[in-house]
Structure 1
Amino acid sequence: MKNTVRVVLFVIIISVLMLIFKDHIKGGLFGVFSLFISLSVIFIGFVIFLENRHPTQTITWLVVLGGFPLVGFIFYLLFGRNYRKEKMFRKKYFLDKQAFLNVEGENDPRSREKLSLMREHQGKLFSLAQKLGNSPISFDTSTKILTNGEETFQHILEELKRAKHHIHLEYYIVRNDAIGQEIKEILVEKAMQGVKVRFLFDAVGSWQLSKKYIADLRNAGIETVSFGPVKLPFLNNKFNFRNHRKIIVIDGTIGFVGGLNIGDEYLGRVKSIGFWRDTHLMVKGEAVRTLQLIFLQDWYYMTNHSFLTAEYLSPQLDNKSHGGVQLIAGGPDNEWSVIKNIFFSMIASAEKSVWIASPYFIPDEDIFSAIKVAALSGIDVRLLVPNRPDKRIVFHASRSYFPELLEAGVKVYEYERGFMHSKIIIVDEELASIGTANMDMRSFHLNFEVNAFLFRTKSAQKLVDEYENDLKFAKQLELKTFQKRHLGLRLLESTARLMSPLL
């Protein structure tokens, strides 16, 4: 039946094209251009229809293409071509999975024993994470929450200076500013001392990074590679799939992951942005190997050079008493939308509370429903977002979700001290997620991300304390007051939300 419908539609489209061609060809150059756009829009609409995307996304694309053909055509070239992502990243997915299975293996007996002591729904959550992300939970790893740029970069700089064997860095944004220069100088110095340094940065996120900065690194012997280089954005299918990860691994014993890129704004040094509220994580012990493996597989994907050897992957156990730590990589190469599904499971498993902090809140329908159902069930659900935009479309799209959340009983707070960039989920004050993934569809489906999931660790409790402290600098929204915002703003929010499935 479906094939018959598609054939009929194809015949109709061909007939329409013939009529359009006859009318447009008489219009000279403008007519030919108009014909090109019309044909392209109709072809794109047909392709989107056959892709069986989510109905909301499909309808949105068709509306935009039909109502604004030229704009829709450009948007599709930039953001819409997801139909090849499985083919593009299939090889990476299978290579990564095999590497993780070979290196990480199954949970050791100690981990299995401690998993069995968890409540049933918590144990199932970490088992799900291992099945989807191929990474086991570790109970031989210590972690430390790093608050804001000053503390984060202080620890990063100190540990970089101590490096003896190797330094691996992977970032979405790297800037040639004060902190960027300081890190570059340390890396050059360490490379001169014989430390092996590898630097992977996203080609789009770091498109402003100067050639001189890169040349200085390479001249010092540092291997520097851009992830997903894009020479012709309109013709390159990889433009939409970015590496949003922020990873540092030093000597295979210390790792860093979290929300901060390399740039002065993350230290609150940019006046137009002001105070920057963010959270990072320092990792020591067994789980550093997982972070290392994520980096090495990304490096292999871009260079075809593999370093899966003992000198980089020997686990460093921390035998002190710790809770559980699990590092999970997500991205368009994973068929299960791993981080999104773990978030969903976390929210659905909550018994007392779900606290979320995200600078960009554009959930898909699954996550949005899970949050509302949790609140309607009497769970203490809180959402902390910025009260000022750094990306206006995303900011206004986020606010379009607030009325439904408030009606369901979600407590929504807007952070007022500065720009809030932390990416946190805390469930029942003992299970937490911290990493690079936002609570938005881009992080769920398009970006390469990495998150740490913590269970009954001191770091999880620190996140609870910091979340409560952040609320002191936030304003809680009231449904009646929020509903009184003027019509123009509501229209802007609705339009931004309509556009959000495209981005």
Structure 2
Amino acid sequence: MWSQSWPWWVGAFAVAVDLTIRVIAIIVVPRNRRPTAATAWLLAIYFIPYIGVLLFLLIGNPRLPRARRKKQDLINETIAEVTKDLHLGVSDIQMPESLASLVRMNQRLGALPLFGDNGAHLISEYQVSLDTMADAIREATEFVHVEFYILQSDASTDNFFRALEEVAARGVPVRVLLDHWANRWKPRYKQTIARLDAMGADWHLMLPVQPLKGRTQRPDLRNHRKLLVVDNEVAFLGSQNVTDSTYNLPKNIKRGLHWVDLMVRVDGPVVGSVNAVFLSDWYSETDDVPESVAFAPTESGSGDLDCQIVPSGPGFEAENNLRLFLGLLYAAKRKIMIVSPYFVPDEALLLAVSTACDRGLQVELFVSEEGDQAIVYHAQRSYYEALLRAGVRIWMYRKPYILHTKSLTIDDDVAVIGSSNMDMRSFGLNLEISMLVRGEEFVRELREVEDRYRSLSRELTLEEWMQQPLRSTVLDNLARLTSSLQ
């Protein structure tokens, strides 16, 4: 039948093209890529060749465009030059070399140093967090810098937006960054943009995919950071977006889902580092740095905590957040507490967690009982058996709440809090901000939050997990394979 409808050479040409694609894929795909990611891409290209090749061309490059990466390099060089002799107020208590070496690594990779004499306090109530940020905004006299993955004007955030309107009316510059893809197709986008325009805010989309305007990159790269800076005096960062706890999505409202988040209010020299992250993103999106705003750490804050900001994302050469997490896990001596809504570890992170259990450490993981993203939810579940067998205690925050907090506590005096999940997306594809904190009082405060999460969760046991139906196991394993496509 083939010979009757097509010349023989058409078939030969098709076979030659297919073989050429497969050979080129073996050469191109594995280069500078994790073996798991390379294997997943090769499987996609071999089993669904045309679709696989198109997907690889579209999202196969996990890095930002070269011009954007050059901007990040310039920013890092500038910050490193300004801060090379700045180590304000670092605690006199002897720092273990294991932690000191991580601090040096963080500064080498992310440019920002460790500062002491900082105050930091957690805000675990969703609406209280929004209203506390609004109160801080109303105190502004110099500037307000707002950068959130999702920013929506709704009933829950009205006080936040009214605060912005009030300070803008007083002539205080209000600069706003929000992720393009995360907001453009969400409810209330047009109303939010209209409100920003009406107040006179200087706002820009982060990582826009606008080919007609010459702005393109891998479309699933995200600026996932959540931060607010007021006058270089106070800053907020953490896991919470500026939106209602349902994200105003009909599917969430129908299921009764509400997000549980954790923010931290900081004052002291580290605020300058948070502002430096904002200014780096502002420069990357606008090619401009406000003349009246500079990286200027204040002398001291309300506490004596040592804090270091760690930016990460596809603009950097290394996976800054992953390396920090790995270093802390191996440095831990007694206890590790992980809170992550999306825990999809790579081989290195899974090995670090299981090794901690083998060393006799107490290791606990807090996740949600119910997922809001099907693929990530099933990919995460695919690791539960290995984690439980290693000795990790898994706490599942009861539905219909989504535990969205991202934190890590080590022993009694070190913690990390920020926007970064412990999954391959946050390690390689998202721009994130994390804060390393050294101080027993802060860890005690975070332990209280962990205790509350534990009281609202149920523990998953290996016996229960092994009763999962076969269809769930198949879905989990398929999702695990797709999670490697980076």
The answer, yes or no, to whether TM exceeds 0.5 is yes
Where does residue 4 of structure 2 map in the other structure? Answer: none
Whether 1:399 and 2:381 are equivalent positions in the alignment is yes
Asked if the contact 1:429/1:464 (under 8 Å) is kept, the reply is no
Is the Cα contact below 8 Å between 2:339 and 2:407 reproduced in 1?
A: yes
Amino acid corresponding to residue 264 of structure 1 in structure 2: D
Q: How far has the Cα of 1:57 moved from its partner? A: 0.9
2:346 maps to a residue whose letter is D
Matched, 1:108 2:87: yes
* Gapped regions of structure 1 (runs ≥ 5): 1-18, 26-30
AA of the residue aligned to 2:148: Y
Indicate how the Cα distance of structure 1 residues 355 and 388 shifts in structure 2: closer, same or farther if over 3 A, else same: same
1:184-195 matched pairs, under 5 angstroms: 184-195=161-172
| Amino acid paired to 1:359 | P
Q: What SS class does the counterpart of residue 29 from structure 2 fall into?
A: helix
2:224/2:431 contact within 8 Å kept: yes
Preserved CA contact (<8 Å) 1:141 1:317: no
Question: Structure 1: how far apart are the matches of 2:347 and 2:294?
Answer: 41
Asked if structure 2 preserves the Cα contact closer than 8 Å seen for 1:106 and 1:136, the reply is no
- Aligned to 2:434, which of 442, 451, 456? 451
More moved, 158-167 vs 287-296: 158-167
1:257 partnered with 2:237: yes
- Specify the alignment match of 1:4 in structure 2: none
Aligned counterpart, 2:102: 125
**2:397 aligned to which of 410, 415, 419:** 415
Post-superposition shift, 1:276? 2.4
CA 24–421 in structure 1, closer or farther in 2 if over 3 Å, else same: farther
Taking structure 1 as reference, are residues 415 and 44 closer, same or farther at Cα in structure 2, changes over 3 Å only?
A: farther
Contact (CA 8 Å) 1:415, 1:473: kept in 2 or not? yes
Shift of 1:320: 5.1
Residue equivalent to 2:472: 489
Aligned residue number for residue 299 of structure 1: 282
1:200 positional shift: 0.7
Is 1:213 aligned to 2:192, yes or no?
Answer: yes
Residues 466/50 of structure 1: CA separation in 2 closer, same or farther (3 Å cut)? closer
Using the alignment, how far apart are the partners of 2:84 and 2:378 within structure 1?
44
Q: TM-score, normalised by structure 1?
A: 0.87
Letter in 1 for 2:240: L
Check the 8 A contact 2:130/2:157 in 1, yes or no.
no
The 8 Å contact of residues 180 and 209 in structure 2, kept in 1 or not, is answered as yes
**Using the alignment, how far apart are the partners of 1:456 and 1:266 within structure 2?**
34
CA contact (8 A) 1:251 1:312 kept: no
Which of residues 361, 380, 390 in structure 1 aligns to 2:343?
361
Picking from 458, 463, 475, the partner of 1:480 is 463
Give the equivalent residue in structure 2 for 1:427: 410
Q: 1:50 to 1:359 in 2, by over 3 A?
A: closer
1:69 is aligned to 2:52: no
**Offset of 1:154 from its aligned partner?**
1.8
**Do residues 499 (structure 1) and 482 (structure 2) align?**
yes
**Deviation at residue 110 of structure 1 after TM alignment:** 4.2
Aligned to 2:228: 248
CA contact (8 A) 2:88 2:299 kept: no
- What is the 5 A alignment of 1:144-223? 144-208=121-185, 210-223=189-202
Return 259-268 or 346-355, whichever deviates more: 259-268
Q: Pick closer, same or farther for the CA change 1:232–1:454 going to 2, 3 Å.
A: same
Cα pair 1:93 1:334 within 8 Å, conserved? yes
2:29 to 27, 43, 49: 49
**Cα offset, 1:186, TM superposition:** 2.7
1:226 equivalent among 184, 188, 205: 205
User: 2: CA distance between counterparts of 1:322 and 1:285?
Assistant: 9
Gaps of 5+ in 2: 1-6
Alignment correspondent of 2:421: 438
| Partner of residue 10, structure 2 | 22
Moved more, 173-182 or 155-164: 173-182
Post-superposition Cα deviations, 1:291-324, rounded to whole Å, max 9, x if no partner, equal 0111011101111111365x54332233555121
CA, structure 1 residues 267+68, in 2 after alignment: closer, same or farther (shift >3 Å)?
closer
Instruction: State the partner residue of 1:346.
Output: 328
Closer, same or farther: CA 414–79 of 1 in aligned 2, 3 Å = farther
Once the 2 structures are TM-superposed, how far is the Cα of residue 185 of structure 1 from its aligned partner? 3.2
Instruction: Name the % identity.
Output: 28
SS of residue in 2 equivalent to 1:140: strand
Secondary structure of 1:495's aligned partner: helix
The residue correspondences of 1:378-389 to structure 2 (distance < 5 A) are: 378-389=360-371
**How many residues are treated as equivalent by the alignment?**
472
Residues 273 and 366 of structure 1: CA distance in aligned 2, closer, same or farther (over 3 Å): farther
Q: Is the 8 A contact 1:364 1:441 kept in 2?
A: yes
Q: In the TM superposition, what is the alpha-carbon distance from 1:379 to its structure 2 partner? A: 0.7
**Any idea what SS the aligned residue of 2:183 has?**
coil
